[in-house]
Amino acid sequence: MNLAELTWPDVDALSRDTPVIFPIAALEQHGRHMPVFTDSLLMGEIARRTETALGARALFAPLQWLGNSHHHMDFPGTIDIHSDHLLNFVLDVTRSVAHHGFERILIADGHGSNMPILDMVARRTILETKAMCGCFIWPSLAAETINRVRESSTPGGMAHACELETSVYLYLDSQRVQME
Ligand SMILES: [Zn+2]
C-alpha cells in the first residue's frame, strides 16, 4: 500500500502491526556518467516494486530524497541535509508513525552515509516511542548475489557510482547513463 494514495480513514482502518516502510536516499553527484538523483531513483524504484509485491502486507511512505551528502559538496548539483537535521527530521517521521499506533517501522536506505544517522534514529525511536524500528541499506538484501555476479575486483569497484549502482541504473533506465 502507498500512504500517498490513502485517506486518513483508510489508514485508520489498518492493523497497527502493519509494517510501515520509510524509503530515504540522497541527491548527490554520481560521477560523470549518472544523474545526481541516482540513489533516490534506485531506492524509489525498489520501494515501488516491493510495495506492488507486498500489497496489503505493508504500508510505504513516499520516498524522502534528501540525504547526508556533505562530503560531496565539491560537486555542483549535490544538495546536503546536515546530519543533525537529518536525525531530527527522520525521528519526527518515525515519531509521527508511532503516534498513530503503528508498532513496526522500517527505514529503507539508498545512501550509505545516511546509515549511522538512521541507526541512531531507529535506536531513539525504540527508546522514545512504543514502536519497534530498524534500518537497512538495500544492497545488504542482495549481498550474496552481488558478490557472486560482480565483475570488479575486491576491494574497490563497489562503493559509489560503481558497478552496482551503474548496473541497476542501466536496468531501470539505460538512456540516462552516459556509457562513453
Ligand atoms: Zn549512490
Each residue's pLDDT tens digit, 167-180: 999 999 999 999 99
Measured in Å, residue 41 CA sits from the centre of ligand 1 at: 10
* Centroid of ligand 1 to alpha carbon of 45 (angstroms): 14
Q: Give the Å distance between the CA of 66 and the centre of ligand 1.
A: 12
> What is the Å distance from ligand 1's center to 13 Cα?
37
How many angstroms is it from 1 CA to the middle of ligand 1? 26
Taking the alpha carbons of 65, 69, 72, 74 in that order, is the dihedral positive or negative?
A: positive
The grid cell for 21 is: 516502510
Cβ–Cβ under 8 Å, residues 137 and 115:
yes
Residue 36 pLDDT: 98
CA of 162 to the centre of ligand 1 (A): 8
**pLDDT value for 86:** 98
Residue 155 confidence class, pLDDT cut points 50, 70, 90: confident
pLDDT of residue 156: 83
Q: What is the mean pLDDT of residues 58-79?
A: 97
Q: Give the C-alpha separation, 123 to 135, whole Å.
A: 10
Give the separation between CA 106 and CA 104, rounded to whole angstroms. 7
For the segment 73-77, the average pLDDT, to the nearest whole number, is 98
**What pLDDT does 136 receive?**
98
CA atoms within 13 A on the CB side of 136: 10
Q: Give the SS3 label for residue 139.
A: helix
**CA dihedral for 138, 144, 145, 151, sign (positive or negative):** positive
Instruction: Convert the pLDDT of each residue in 127-153 to its tens digit.
Output: 999 999 999 999 999 999 999 999 998
Query: Of all helices (H) and strands (E), which one includes residue 145?
Result: helix 143-149
Ligand 1 mean position, distance from CA 147 (Å): 18
Model confidence pLDDT, tens digit, residues 2-45: 999 999 999 999 999 999 999 999 999 999 999 999 999 999 99
Q: How confident is the model at residue 154 (pLDDT cuts 50, 70, 90)?
A: confident
Say how far apart CA 114 and CA 27 lie, in whole Å.
Answer: 12
Strand partners, 135: 107
Ligand 1 center from residue 85 Cα (angstroms): 20
For residue 17, the CA-to-ligand 1 centroid distance in Å is 32
Exposure class string for 75-100: b at 16+ Cβ within 10 A, else e: eeebebbeeeebbebbbebbbebbee
For 82-111, what is each residue's pLDDT tens digit? 999 999 999 999 999 999 999 999 999 999
CA distances from 114 to 26, 29, 49, 73, 121 (A): 8, 15, 22, 15, 10
